Amino acid sequence: MADVRCPMCGKPNPEELELCQFCQARIKPLEGRSPAEEFNSPIGAEPPLDTGGEQDSIDEWLNFLRQSEDEGEPRPFDEEQLADWMKEDLDIKMPESQEPLEPEGTPDWLSSLRSIADEDAPEPPDVEKAQPAVEPSPTDSSEENEIPGWLSKLRSRRTAEEGEADQEFAFQLGEEPKISEQAGIQEDRSAISTESVSDWLSELRGEEAPVVDSSQPPELVQEELPAGQVEIGEEVVQPGVGVVSQDEDIPVVEADRASEIQPQTEEIPDWLAGIVAGGAAVAAAEGVEADLDNLPEWLADLEKSSALDREEIVPFGEEGEELTFDWLQTQVRAGQETPYGEELTSDTLGTEADTRGVGPFVGDLSDFLEEAELSSLEAAQPGVEQPGGDLSPAELPTWLEAMRPVDAAAGVYAIDAQDGQVESSGPLAGMQGVLPAEPEIARLKKPAVYALRLQVTESQRAHASLLDELVKSEGEPKEIPGRPAVTSPYLFRLIIFAVLISTILWQVFTGSRTSPLPGLMPETFDTSEIIDDLPENALVLLGVDYDPALAGEMEAAAASLVDHMMLKVAYLGLVSTSSTGPALGEHLIATVGSLSGNRYQGIEMYANLGYLPGGASGLQAFAQAPRQVAPFALDPETTAVWSNTPFQAAQDLAGFDLVAVITDDSDKARAWIEQVQPTLNGTPLIMVISTQAEPLVRPYYQANPKQVDGMVVGLAGGGSYEQSHQDLLAGNGLARKYWDAFSLSVLAAVVLIAVGGFVNLVTNLLNAQKQSKADKKR
């Protein structure tokens, strides 16, 4: 069983294994992989392509470089596998480096260079002349045995072509290379290598263009570095390899294919593509004209030998039919490629170098980003023509141009690409990392099904049914119980009315006077005495302060008293604090006159002074200045009574012989007593009051000294006054008329109240018993 060496670690593995059993790197390359897989695959886990045994050796050599670059740690250098000339070179150049090199075969990038040179590059007219003269080094036969075949072939060709090629190459370089002031290590290295390497290589170095320092003019750089090496700061740009750190020892490769590097970035590992691109840019920026026509013959042979290998490389767009996005990638590649053989000016290369600040890992970017960067490069290279000018450039659809994420979506795309989700349908089919149409959170999920049946107990069910019945009963209309037309209160009120009106009608129609009038009362007696003491033509102030509602009682109580005054031919001055008082006074005078037959009419008999507004204040003012407050009478002539007799003699109320007040209101009686009585100065004050006002007026009568000199209280007082003066009112006083009816009505009222109260009391008791029984039953 043949072993297969791992391209990564170089250790032998069984042939049937696809992955290295030591480093898990893929041994067998995958064919027809999608660009996305290439994009996501790790750099060191996948060999570029299988190009045969020679290619394997190159891969191993490149893997060594990758691993050393990735791990950054030295590896044991396998000196046995190197050729002698290479051993010497390595020993002199980098004695500290111990990494093994694989001199066998040609690197992948070099194979690509050759293939491109065969296919695309126009055949230079004098390639042979452009080849630098290489003199065969005087080496031993043993050394020649250890030299690889391709190198031996190269050496034999150089022997035949030395001389003129050497001269032409020197002519193209123009002048001797100058020593670079910046890289001292480079200087030492070049000096050592000039001495220790084989002769053919020494000649080659001496004849080829030196490495150009980016910070130095081309003349200086060419003097320092050997041909084919371009130094960028501390890094050495090796054509075909790119920028290589000076700490690493790598084979020196020709630098005249810097412009060719960029198209090869897709065929070489990504990490190397970036380096190549960067090196090419730096080399171009330094003004080095990489004339592809001046390739040495040995390098041309290498290109020819690797032409077949290159044909085995599966180009982009042909890997698999399932990749629907290949057309776009192809377009990107086409736009990315720089025409072979096209000389890049320093300006364009400088622009490219600036643009590719992140350049070494262009392959790691998304296709869109690559396209964006490369399109910017194209814009910066107006003179560069696309290879294959007859091919019309692919045009992206407008909608795809609008949807294309360029810069802002780069990070998102990189994150989504790791998910490995590939769009399966729609115009974006085949694209990876496409944002979902709707977020995960908005996706509808079938709701969980819960049981709708409540877990209730029997008691809860009973309460619920009860509540349901209550709610239903509330909504149902209920019949309003018909109200009986005749209710007990209504009937009782009718009975009261009937009893009272019957007693009154009986008295009216029968005219009976069965009830004797009350006897003479003390207050009535005092009142009668005061009136009896009045002189003739006495001036009496009669206050009429009662309401028409109580006129029946007040007139019956006062009629005999007024008639008594009229008998004394007293001049009456009527005044009232009520708005209806003047009319009531007129009504009283007329009533008494009609009953007694006295003709008290006109201003000659009495003067109606009218209404005193202001209540107690009006009384106060009238008591203080009666002439100013009530200067005129209410007769048709509006007589100024105070200027006529008998009012002319009275300057104030004290000038009156008597002040008599007829009122049904205790407050008015009190106002008269408190506001007027103090101003009377001995003038007697008597009052005819209603029964309801008696309790409040009596204290003034019972006071000592009396504030009220006499009282006639209600119908009983009037009857008593009439009883004491039988001659008044012609013996047909109002009190006498009303007294029987009054007594019967009072009796009826007492009976009604008593009976009704008893009935209601019994009813209430019965209801209370029923209620108590009902409560006991409950």
Partner 1 sequence: MGSGCDHPGWGSIETGGADMKIPVAAAIAIAFGLVVLAGYFLPLPELVSLRTILVQWSMIIASTALFVGVANLLRVHWFKLRKGGTASAYSFLLIASLLVTLVVVGLYGPTGSWSLWIFNSIQFPIESSLMAILAVVLIYSAARLMRRRMDLFSLLFGMAVLLVLLGSAPIFGIEIPFLYGPDGLRSLIVQIPAVAGARGILLGVALGTIATGLRILIGADRPYGG
How far are the Cα atoms of 34, 323, 522, 543, 596 from residue 430, in angstroms, in the given order?
A: 10, 6, 131, 121, 134
Closest CB to partner 1 among 333 and 670? Answer: 670
Q: Tell me: does residue 750 bind partner 1 (CB under 8 A).
A: yes
Closest CB to partner 1 among 618 and 684? Answer: 618
How far are the Cα atoms of 41, 223, 269, 410, 413 from residue 364, in angstroms, in the given order?
A: 10, 37, 10, 11, 12
Instruction: Give least dist CB 484 to partner 1, A.
Output: 18
Which residues ranging from 169 to 188 are in contact with partner 1 (CB under 8 A)? none
For residues 64 and 8, give the distance between their C-alpha atoms in angstroms, rounded to a whole number: 7
Instruction: Give least dist CB 505 to partner 1, A.
Output: 13
Instruction: Give least dist CB 643 to partner 1, A.
Output: 19
Instruction: Give least dist CB 533 to partner 1, A.
Output: 23
Closest CB to partner 1 among 162 and 665? Answer: 665
Q: Tell me: does residue 61 bind partner 1 (CB under 8 A).
A: no
Q: Which stretch binds partner 1 (CB under 8 A): 214-222, 300-308, 316-324, 494-502?
A: 494-502
Instruction: Give least dist CB 680 to partner 1, A.
Output: 16
For residues 306 and 57, give the distance between their C-alpha atoms in angstroms, rounded to a whole number: 13
Element (H, E) at 354: helix 346-355
Instruction: Give least dist CB 463 to partner 1, A.
Output: 39
Which residues ranging from 670 to 689 are in contact with partner 1 (CB under 8 A)? 670
Instruction: Give least dist CB 657 to partner 1, A.
Output: 24
Determine contact, residues 129/169, Cβ cutoff 8 Å.
no
Which residues ranging from 200 to 229 are in contact with partner 1 (CB under 8 A)? none
Binding mask 359-388 for partner 1 (x = CB under 8 A): ------------------------------
Q: Tell me: does residue 629 bind partner 1 (CB under 8 A).
A: yes
Closest CB to partner 1 among 462 and 750? Answer: 750
Q: Tell me: does residue 758 bind partner 1 (CB under 8 A).
A: yes
Instruction: Give least dist CB 744 to partner 1, A.
Output: 8
Q: Tell me: does residue 436 bind partner 1 (CB under 8 A).
A: no
How far are the Cα atoms of 52, 82, 249, 440, 572 from residue 55, in angstroms, in the given order?
A: 5, 17, 20, 48, 156
Closest CB to partner 1 among 423 and 635? Answer: 635
**Which of 184, 217, 411, 552 forms a contact with partner 1 (CB under 8 A)?**
552
For residues 54 and 252, give the distance between their C-alpha atoms in angstroms, rounded to a whole number: 18
For residues 712 and 528, give the distance between their C-alpha atoms in angstroms, rounded to a whole number: 9
Q: Tell me: does residue 760 bind partner 1 (CB under 8 A).
A: yes
Sign (positive or negative) of CA dihedral 161, 162, 167, 170 = positive
Which residues ranging from 598 to 627 are in contact with partner 1 (CB under 8 A)? 608, 610-615, 617-618, 620-621, 624-625
Gyration radius from the chain CA atoms: 71
Instruction: Give least dist CB 624 to partner 1, A.
Output: 5
User: 503-530 burial, b for 16+ CB within 10 Å, e for fewer?
Assistant: bbeebeeeeeeebebbeebebbebbbeb
For residues 339 and 389, give the distance between their C-alpha atoms in angstroms, rounded to a whole number: 10
**Which of 145, 763, 769, 771 forms a contact with partner 1 (CB under 8 A)?**
763
Instruction: Give least dist CB 600 to partner 1, A.
Output: 13
Q: Tell me: does residue 35 bind partner 1 (CB under 8 A).
A: no
Closest CB to partner 1 among 264 and 620? Answer: 620
Q: Which stretch binds partner 1 (CB under 8 A): 115-123, 202-210, 317-325, 632-640?
A: 632-640
Closest CB to partner 1 among 567 and 621? Answer: 621
Q: Which stretch binds partner 1 (CB under 8 A): 291-299, 382-390, 635-643, 729-737?
A: 635-643
- How many residues touch partner 1 (CB under 8 A)? 76
For residues 344 and 258, give the distance between their C-alpha atoms in angstroms, rounded to a whole number: 9
Closest CB to partner 1 among 418 and 771? Answer: 771
Counting beta carbons within 10 angstroms of the beta carbon of residue 53, is it exposed (0 to 12), middle (13 to 18) or buried (19 or more)? exposed
For residues 265 and 318, give the distance between their C-alpha atoms in angstroms, rounded to a whole number: 17
Instruction: Give least dist CB 644 to partner 1, A.
Output: 17
Angle, CA of 201, 204 and 206, to the nearest 5°: 110
- What tokens were used for 433? 């990392």
**Which of 586, 593, 644, 655 forms a contact with partner 1 (CB under 8 A)?**
586
590-593: long-range contacts, CB 8 A cutoff, minimum separation 24: 591/555, 591/559, 591/734, 592/559, 592/562, 592/563, 592/566, 592/729, 593/566
**Which of 40, 651, 764, 772 forms a contact with partner 1 (CB under 8 A)?**
764
Q: Tell me: does residue 755 bind partner 1 (CB under 8 A).
A: yes
* Residue linked to tokens 């006083």: 733
Q: In what side-by-side order are the strands of the sheet with 658-663?
A: 606-611, 571-576, 539-545, 658-663, 685-689, 710-713
Other beta carbons within 10 Å of 556: 25
User: 363-395 burial, b for 16+ CB within 10 Å, e for fewer?
Assistant: bbbbbbbbbbbbeebeebbeebeeeeeeeeeee
Q: Where are the beta strands (DSSP E) in 362-402?
A: none
Instruction: Give least dist CB 648 to partner 1, A.
Output: 20
Instruction: Give least dist CB 618 to partner 1, A.
Output: 5
**Which of 389, 636, 682, 705 forms a contact with partner 1 (CB under 8 A)?**
636
**Which of 420, 522, 535, 597 forms a contact with partner 1 (CB under 8 A)?**
522
**Which of 435, 508, 747, 766 forms a contact with partner 1 (CB under 8 A)?**
747
- What tokens were used for 67? 């691993």
Which residues ranging from 682 to 741 are in contact with partner 1 (CB under 8 A)? 691, 694-696, 698-699, 702, 716, 739
Specify the 3-state DSSP secondary structure of 453.
Answer: coil
For residues 264 and 253, give the distance between their C-alpha atoms in angstroms, rounded to a whole number: 16
**Which of 521, 558, 680, 729 forms a contact with partner 1 (CB under 8 A)?**
521
Instruction: Give least dist CB 453 to partner 1, A.
Output: 56
Amino acid occupying residue 498? A
Counting beta carbons within 10 angstroms of the beta carbon of residue 455, is it exposed (0 to 12), middle (13 to 18) or buried (19 or more)? exposed
Binding mask 108-147 for partner 1 (x = CB under 8 A): ----------------------------------------
CA-wise closest residue to 342 among 310, 396, 297, 385: 385
Binding mask 499-518 for partner 1 (x = CB under 8 A): -x-------------xxx-x
Instruction: Give least dist CB 675 to partner 1, A.
Output: 10
Element (H, E) at 545: strand 539-545
Binding mask 561-580 for partner 1 (x = CB under 8 A): ------------------xx
DSSP sequence for 730-744: GG--HHHHHHHHHHH
Instruction: Give least dist CB 467 to partner 1, A.
Output: 37
**Which of 282, 538, 540, 551 forms a contact with partner 1 (CB under 8 A)?**
551
For residues 704 and 725, give the distance between their C-alpha atoms in angstroms, rounded to a whole number: 28
Closest CB to partner 1 among 334 and 752? Answer: 752
Closest CB to partner 1 among 358 and 750? Answer: 750
Instruction: Give least dist CB 652 to partner 1, A.
Output: 11
Determine contact, residues 717/523, Cβ cutoff 8 Å.
yes
Closest CB to partner 1 among 308 and 753? Answer: 753
